[in-house]
Structure 1
Amino acid sequence: MPKSKKPVTFTNSFKKPNPSQINNKIKTPALKQLIQNGGIKQNYKNPNSIIREYHNLNKRKAIIKSKLDSLPNKQNDTQIKVLILEQTEIDLKLDALGGLDAYQKSSLLGQSTKKGGDTSRYLIKHLFNINFLPSLNPIKLLDVGSLSPNNYEKEKKWIKTDCIDLNSQHPKISKLDFFDVPLSNPDNNSEISVHGPYDIVSLSLVVNFEGDIHKRGQMLIHAAKLLIEKPGILFLVLPLPCITNSRYFNEQRLLDIACAVGFEELLSSHHSTKLAYYIFRLSNKQKHVSHPQFKKTLLKDGPGKNNFCIAL
């Protein structure tokens, strides 16, 4: 009968271990390979591969954090140690990818107009279709997770754009968390350059980047708070598999959640080969105050499906 493996022991159970101090007795293959080779097995020269892997690792990291938060704080709890070890493995993988900086540069390359990746063009086309543009009065737009301050450059005579991102790659993009964007600037504080209310909030490929399913729902609620009711517009873009190939999510679920927080009118939707586009109008600003719960519920199981979900 084989001997049972001893649990990994850290000098300090709740301090993040230094990768250089982790010895070769740890049998997790990916971590062992990172230590020995200084890299990872897969070739990540393709920007899409970096983006995909970055999302997967962050989702797993969010799950681990949730588990750690729910466990009792016991110093000798083996389960906590195992989770911390896995968290360290993920951090090493993210570092091997190049971190958030590499992710954003890959996203920027993927957004190149030559590659057809600038989602803002779909929004602009629709705004002209519904006579929202051209506009006599300037339209205020918040571009969340912005990779380029020039996405709406052609429309600058009509649209004033506030660009924000957690890891800004450009001096014209403010380094700011979406949840920290104030709803207004009542005191006209000149130091607060980014604030609501907005005519349009763009959440293009950022909701799926958030690993916590409840924070994804909170992003939609915060968007509703930031918007001017009628004609407040939410531009939401998700990877197509989030809508068409998830165990816990589909288009009807998205429409139900959007309606629950005040986006009762779907102005436009479109599925390309890789992305799902939605343009909602805010018609009931107060609905986000008291809304039904949407928990993580199995909708359709099957092999090859992903676990994407938005919860309220």
Structure 2
Amino acid sequence: MLSKRKTTIRGKHVGKKIPRIKPSRARKIIRRFHLLINKRRVICRKLDLAISDNDEATCSATILEAVNSGNLQKFYEEGWKEIRPSNDLEAKMLSVQNITDKSTLTRILGYIMCEIHEHGGLKNYQMASTIGQDGGRGGDSSKLLVKWLRELPTLPSDFRALEIGSLSARNYISTSGVFDQVVRIDLNSNDAANIQSQDFMQRPIPNDDSERFDVISCSLVLNFVPSPLERGAMLKRLLAFLRRDVTTTYVFIVLPLPCIVHSRYMSESLFCEIMAYLGYTRTQYYEAKKIAYFLFEKTMNAPDTYQRDSQLVRDTSKFTKKLLIHDKPGLNNFSVLL
């Protein structure tokens, strides 16, 4: 008879071994992957290639077809076979926006694609992202969201949530029982059955309230959007996905704390002003050691922008231009522009 014992005689666990990555290593993997995706996007734009970040198979096929038809295969293969790390190609990749030569762009593209598909770029990113939400590390930001929502006077029975940048179908937002429905999307889903591979900026605008949501969770996503204007566009687009047949809806935003407290062009108060300009009221805010958590409320009767009366006049240039708030060594350049 087979033993059902879960440990050996010496007490060692015999279950499936769960991979472990130090938090610093996981952050490094995630930052690297997003860098590769962003630089690939820039190169493909320069080469007039229409690609989708959320479909790696189609993206690879599109790139290979273009490389072969454009007589650029030699340069692509050179980049693919380059010894890693290549100081030359790493430097060129970081300044790729200033490069116009097609052969150089194609070499960098081959270098990037090889890392994503042959050197564990995508696989390591998915593993690091999932482990980053390990409850044992306090990485599931949706716990705080659910806690705040449970403090509300009432919750509707058909409470619906959209989770942008979802990493697990077993996180707190999905298992708390607060929501009647949770729709999960991520650029590169690691769970095709439960998380849809989709870029939020490409998600079709809802036709009616049956396709909209009470809550949108956007945890550690905005900071990976490539440019300040694109971040602003994402914040503006959230409005189209919030229900209009209920009195109040919510947006939960999580950012690395340095984006708020160590930026030359951003602060917690300015970020809240930008959201207020879009019609939101901040109802909750919490700073952890490395993370900033915001909960914003949107009410049906709130204006989509500030009312310009004598008491609510605002200098809107702070929302459309980078304005220096802090200036000292070691600060980052995170900002959001409308």
> TM-score, normalized by length of structure 2?
0.64
Asked if the contact 1:62/1:211 (under 8 Å) is kept, the reply is no
1:119 aligns with 2:141: yes
State how far apart, in whole Å, the 2-side matches of 1:64 and 1:251 are. Answer: 34
Asked if the contact 1:224/1:262 (under 8 Å) is kept, the reply is no
Structure 1 residue identity aligned to 2:196: S
Query: Which residue number corresponds to residue 51 of structure 1?
Result: 30
Kindly state the Cα deviation for residue 158 of structure 1 after the two structures are TM-superposed: 3.8
1:310 aligns with 2:336: yes
Query: Which residue number corresponds to residue 260 of structure 1?
Result: 277
1:145 to 135, 140, 165: 165
Asked if the contact 2:285/2:292 (under 8 Å) is kept, the reply is yes
Asked if the contact 2:220/2:254 (under 8 Å) is kept, the reply is yes
Query: Which residue number corresponds to residue 176 of structure 2?
Result: 155
1:169 aligns with 2:190: yes
Aligned residues: CA RMSD: 3.3
Structure 2 residue identity aligned to 1:207: L
Deviation per CA, 1:34-75: give whole Å up to 9, x if none.
xxxxxxxxx999222212333455566778889999xxxxxx
Structure 2 residue identity aligned to 1:138: D
Structure 2 residue identity aligned to 1:128: R
Q: How does 1:21-170 map to 2 (within 5 A)?
A: 46-55=25-34, 79-81=99-101, 84=105, 98-132=120-154, 135-151=155-171, 152-156=173-177, 158-170=179-191
Asked if the contact 1:249/1:308 (under 8 Å) is kept, the reply is yes
Structure 2 residue identity aligned to 1:266: R
Asked if the contact 2:255/2:291 (under 8 Å) is kept, the reply is yes
> TM-score, normalized by length of structure 1?
0.69
Aligned residues: 250
Query: Which residue number corresponds to residue 17 of structure 1?
Result: none
Question: Residue 101 of structure 2 aligns to a residue in which SS?
Answer: helix
More helix, by proportion:
2
Kindly state the Cα deviation for residue 240 of structure 1 after the two structures are TM-superposed: 0.7
1:242 aligns with 2:221: no
Asked if the contact 1:142/1:201 (under 8 Å) is kept, the reply is yes
Deviation per CA, 1:100-130: give whole Å up to 9, x if none.
4422320111110011100000000001112
State how far apart, in whole Å, the 2-side matches of 1:63 and 1:302 are. Answer: 30
Deviation per CA, 1:12-41: give whole Å up to 9, x if none.
xxxxxxxxxxxxxxxxxxxxxxxxxxxxxx
1:228 aligns with 2:243: yes
Question: Residue 328 of structure 2 aligns to a residue in which SS?
Answer: coil
2:296 to 280, 288, 292: 280
Query: Which residue number corresponds to residue 296 of structure 1?
Result: 322
Structure 2 residue identity aligned to 1:257: I
1:208 aligns with 2:230: no
State how far apart, in whole Å, the 1-side matches of 2:270 and 2:119 are. Answer: 33
State how far apart, in whole Å, the 2-side matches of 1:203 and 1:185 are. Answer: 22
Q: Mind listing any 5+ residue stretches in structure 2 that lack a counterpart?
A: 1-21, 49-97, 307-315
Deviation per CA, 1:125-182: give whole Å up to 9, x if none.
00111234xx352201000110111222333364310011121111111122212333
State how far apart, in whole Å, the 2-side matches of 1:279 and 1:157 are. Answer: 16
Kindly state the Cα deviation for residue 222 of structure 1 after the two structures are TM-superposed: 1.1
Kindly state the Cα deviation for residue 235 of structure 1 after the two structures are TM-superposed: 0.3
Q: Mind listing any 5+ residue stretches in structure 1 that lack a counterpart?
A: 1-42, 70-77, 189-194
Kindly state the Cα deviation for residue 184 of structure 1 after the two structures are TM-superposed: 2.5
Asked if the contact 1:248/1:309 (under 8 Å) is kept, the reply is yes
Question: Residue 334 of structure 2 aligns to a residue in which SS?
Answer: coil
Asked if the contact 1:183/1:197 (under 8 Å) is kept, the reply is no
Task: Give percent identity, aligned residues only.
Answer: 32
1:219 to 218, 234, 239: 234
Structure 2 residue identity aligned to 1:277: Y
